[in-house]
Amino acid sequence: MVSNSDKELAEFQEHMPSNVSLDGHKANGQNVLPVSMSQRGLLSDENPRLGKLPLNIPSRLNFLKFGSSGNLTSASAKFQQNTEERDVVSHSIPSSSGQGIQGWFSGSLAKKVAWSSLWKICKEWIKDPLNMALLLWIICVAVSGAILFLVMTGMLNHALPKKSQRDAWFEVNNQILNALFTLMCLYQHPKRFHHLVLLCRWKPKDVSTLRKIYCKNGTYKPHEWTHMMVVVVLLHVNCFAQYTLCGLNWGYKRSERPAIGVGICLSVAVAAPAIAGLYSVISPLGKDYNSEVELKTQDQIPMNGTGYSSNQRLSFEKQFSIAASNKHKSVEYAPVWRGGLFDIWEDIAISYLSLFFSFCVFGWNMERLGFGNMYVHIATFFLFCTAPFWVFNFAAVNIDNETVREVLKLTGLVLCIFGLLYGGFWRIQMRKRFNLPANNSCCGKPAIADFAQWLFCCWCSLAQEVRTADYYDVVEGKLCMKQTDENSQLTLSPLPREDGSAQFRLSQTSLSGNNPGFSRIGIGKFSGPGRFSKDKYSPNRQASEVEGERDADYLMKPPVRPSIQR
């Protein structure tokens, strides 16, 4: 029995001239059928960026089915084409040498456990404020989950003999667990949305960023875009399932709550991240591949008529752009904070912006300093400072105990205040990266001082950080002095007893109190008494003649700082 696609293929061959073959090549030395560019792109399996590929009959059959099967096949074909294009872009991006989470995890499992080094790693890990918050979250989840488990299994029947008491404890711990998992999803969701945007955009910089997060050792993996998309979609499913479960817990009392809906949402919320983690390990994202094969693949990229491959050309362009940007800039190896913590009048506009638009100014400042995406910082900081209040207040609605309800509301308010520590954490990163002065006023611990400044005066701390970022230029993760106009430099006149006219030019940085000495000195029109004859500056000569000869003297200028460094 002949299928519809075979019939269409037979009709297509009957209407074709005898001198034209099915694969579109010339026959008997004559030209092929006139085909438009759009039809030629659909009929051809050749990708100009991948080179010429063999053309076979099944691909033609697939094309005929594509034209007669409807929108579903069209969408799948477009997705496949999109995947192939992104895979071509992946081949052109060189792999980074960084080791991601999966590389560290697999390396730790492969090695023999050394308990002494493991203890040191744990101590270093706990020093990170974000890890401290994560550990506190895990402890709260473990305690509430244990109490909920004991109540459900009847192990606390002796301590809670009445059913009403057991129901109250069950609902309290259920709402606490629901609030904790909802907060975690809210905190992680801006970053996951950003990763989804990077996957859809898929530029060279985006590829490198995503490889460091999802690929083992940060290297290229086959069809990495597709595998990354699967992991990111599963993580989004986890967030939305948790939000739905949260709505069911808040919108219904325990007796009216649909058990099937709760079970489905709970299963999806737990299974989605577990599948994502397992998939990232067993898929090509978590496997090692031969680097020689990867280099060979990247070297086969078209040269674009320049004699260099795409990744080599991008590397050269980056090096020349960096050299051009650093040509007139000097790195500041000992930068300082611009003004004190309470010097809000130094730039009143920045102070007002920091007060009324704190989240936006913070995200904008973090992005220009090289600490991540602006929108991710804005959304995350906003959620840290507002989400706990609303989450715990909604969690207290279905709790009958008035004392527990007030405790939950107070807990949400306290967590919102401690959300300001998010700014303190990034202040620490800014101080360490750019070698800014540390504040040892709090027990000799600069990190505690940074947290305290953000906790008790967040707007002043933010304004100081913005003023400091305005005062310098950020080039390749380093602070550089901004170039000032020569006309704006102050000039010091020579003393009257000096024979020559020495001009010392001071930049504004030396007058700000940051540097006690002269940061940039220019000496011009200087003539000492020993270099010229006595009659040149004899008192009988007119002042106009002396002034004219002074203008004709050799002009000495000191070398600029970048030339000294080179």
Pull the structure tokens for residue 538.
């004899």
Alpha helices in 156-306, H assignment, sequence order:
163-201, 204-214, 224-251, 259-282, 291-299
How high is the pLDDT of residue 115?
78
Q: What is the pLDDT of residues 78-98, one digit of tens each?
A: 777 777 777 777 766 776 655
Token representation of residue 62: 């697939």
- Measuring CA to CA, how many Å separate 415 from each of 20, 91, 412? 75, 45, 5
CA torsion sign, 483 to 489 to 495 to 499?
A: positive
Token duo for residue 280: 């990232």
What is the SS3 assignment for 30? strand
Contact status, residue 446 vs residue 440, Cβ threshold 8 Å: yes
Instruction: Output the pLDDT for position 419.
Output: 93
pLDDT of residue 34: 44
Q: What is the pLDDT of residue 14?
A: 52
- pLDDT for 389 equals 95
Distance CA(340)–CA(346), nearest Å, equals 9
Q: Which residues contact 183 (CB under 8 A, 6 or more apart)?
A: 387, 388, 391
pLDDT of residue 513: 43
The token pair that represents 227 in the structure block: 């595998």
Could you tell me which residues are beta bridge partners of residue 480?
Answer: 331, 473
Between CA 15 and CA 3 the distance in angstroms is: 19
**What is the spatial distance between Cα 360 and Cα 442, in angstroms, rounded to a whole number?**
29
pLDDT of residue 283: 92
What tokens appear for 539 in the block? 């008192």
Tens digit of each residue's pLDDT (9 = 90 or more) over 436-448: 999 888 888 888 9
Domain boundaries defined on the chain? 116-286, 348-481
b/e per residue 455-466 (b: at least 16 CB within 10 A): eeebbbbbbbbb
Q: For residue 59, what are the contacts with CB-CB under 8 A and spacing of at least 6?
A: 45
Weakly modelled stretches of the chain, pLDDT under 70: 1-73, 91-92, 95-113, 290-329, 483-566
CB-based contact 521:491 (threshold 8 Å): no
